[in-house]
């Protein structure tokens, strides 16, 4: 009797624990079945058929950062677009100053820099100054406003679009087979040229092609391991003759080494 009591009491102590384990398994199974995100293939998946953790893609030994360009393999198209936008910003600023009568460089005051003028702007263009306005006469006010609007339309019609600047810049870069370093260095050479001449040279619609091309040739000769000869540049960029390229390479070099 004592042994049966002890056995029953022992079974009594074991029985609740077994029920506890069974309820825990039932709870885990029901929770797994209720979460379709963890088990998308079947909503009735049990712990007995669980094959392991979900398979993850794009895993590496470090932090999960994926970049499209690096210093050794930069995004050349993106860099060309950004630098081209900066060149056009200079052109737009010069156009605005010319419209408002504040542009002095490259307009006869610094005639020694006319060498950078593009084809069609090599000679000084004649411009008739706007006469002073007598504010007492409304007719002269209207006439001055009309002349201002006409001048604005004329200047803005000559300003190249962002696509024109970027296309020219990209074509010279690719045809000349330049390295990616030349993209940034050509911008630096242009900025230094504008700063060194203290306003004598401005990037305008009259000279932007010559200045950009000149800076790219200089960047290629300094930073490329195998740069082309000037004669090769004249073959690649047919809009610039060999004599013109020699002139565009020599003049910035003299200005920047002063």
Please check the confidence at residue 39 and state whether its pLDDT lies above 60: no
End-to-end CA distance of the chain: 117
**Amino acid 60: pLDDT:** 54
- Tell me the per-residue pLDDT of 196-245, one tens digit each, with 9 for 90 and over: 888 788 899 989 999 999 999 999 998 888 888 999 999 888 889 999 99
35 inside domain: no
Domain assignment present for 60:
no
What is residue 92's predicted lDDT score, i.e. its pLDDT?
93
Tokens linked to 222: 């300094």
In the predicted structure, residue 114 carries a pLDDT above the cut 50: yes
**pTM of model > 0.75:** no
Enclosing domain of residue 112: 76-130+139-256
CATH of the domain at 98: 1.10.472.10
Percentage of the residues of the chain whose pLDDT score is greater than 70 = 59
When pLDDT is cut at 50, 70 and 90, the band that residue 148 belongs to is confident
Q: What is the pLDDT of residue 16?
A: 47
Mean pLDDT of 88-117: 74
Is residue 44 one of the residues assigned to a domain? no
Q: Where do we find the tokens 């074509």?
A: 171
HEC sequence for 212-230: HHHHHHHHHHHHCCCCCCH
Task: Give the pLDDT band of residue 6 (cuts 50, 70, 90).
Answer: very low
Q: Identify whether 186 is part of a domain.
A: yes
- 15 assigned to some structural domain: no
pLDDT tens, residue by residue, 43-82 = 444 555 556 666 656 555 556 565 666 666 778 889 999 9
- Average per-residue pLDDT for the chain: 74
What pLDDT score does 59 carry?
A: 56
Does 3 map to a domain? no
223, part of any domain: yes
Residue range 167-195, pLDDT digits in tens: 999 999 999 989 888 999 999 999 999 99
Q: What is the pLDDT of residue 139?
A: 61
Q: Is residue 65 part of a domain?
A: no
d(CA 245, CA 240) in angstroms, rounded, equals 6
Domain count, the chain: 1
Task: Let me know: does 166 contact 173? Beta carbons within 8 Å.
Answer: no
Residue 237 CB coordination number (10 Å): 20
DSSP of 129-191: PPPPP-TT-HHHHHHHHHHHHHHHHHHHHHSPPHHHHHHHHHHHHHHTT--THHHHHHHHHHH
């Amino acid at each position: 009797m004592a042994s049966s009591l002890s056995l029953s009491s022992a079974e009594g102590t074991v029985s609740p624990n077994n029920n506890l384990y069974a309820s825990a398994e039932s709870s885990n199974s029901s929770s797994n079945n209720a979460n379709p995100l963890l088990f998308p293939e079947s909503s009735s998946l049990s712990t007995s058929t669980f094959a392991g953790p979900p398979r993850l893609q794009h895993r590496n030994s470090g932090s999960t950062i994926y970049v499209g360009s690096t210093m050794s393999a930069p995004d050349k198209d993106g860099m060309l677009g950004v630098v081209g936008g900066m060149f056009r910003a200079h052109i737009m600023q010069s156009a605005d100053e010319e419209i408002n009568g504040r542009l002095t460089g490259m307009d006869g005051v610094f005639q020694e820099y006319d060498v950078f003028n593009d084809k069609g702007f090599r000679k000084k263009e004649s411009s008739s100054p706007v006469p002073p306005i007598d504010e007492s006469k409304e007719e002269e006010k209207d006439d001055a406003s009309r002349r201002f609007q006409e001048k604005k339309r004329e200047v803005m019609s000559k300003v190249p679009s962002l696509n024109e600047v970027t296309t020219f810049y990209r074509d010279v870069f690719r045809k000349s087979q330049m390295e990616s370093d030349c993209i940034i260095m050509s911008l630096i050479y242009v900025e230094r040229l504008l700063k060194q001449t203290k306003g004598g040279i401005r990037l305008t619609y009259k000279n932007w092609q010559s200045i950009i091309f000149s800076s790219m040739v200089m960047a290629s000769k300094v930073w490329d391991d195998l740069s082309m000869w000037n004669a090769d540049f004249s073959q690649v960029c047919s809009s610039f003759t060999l004599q013109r390229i020699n002139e565009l390479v020599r003049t910035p070099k003299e200005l920047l080494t002063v």
